[in-house]
Amino acid sequence: MKKNILLVIFLIIAAFAISKFSDHNLKKTISACILAQLQTAESPDAEKAKKFCEEQLKK
- From first to last of the 59 residues of the chain, give the pLDDT tens digit: 888 899 999 999 999 888 777 777 888 898 999 999 989 888 888 888 889 898 888 87
The answer to whether position 9 is within a domain reads: no
The answer to whether position 37 is within a domain reads: yes
pTM: 0.60
The answer to whether position 36 is within a domain reads: yes
Domain that residue 53 falls in? 22-59
The answer to whether position 33 is within a domain reads: yes
Which burial class, exposed, middle or buried, applies to 34 when counting CB atoms under 10 A from its CB (0-12, 13-18, 19+)?
A: buried
Count of structural domains within the chain: 1
The answer to whether position 42 is within a domain reads: yes
The answer to whether position 3 is within a domain reads: no
The answer to whether position 27 is within a domain reads: yes
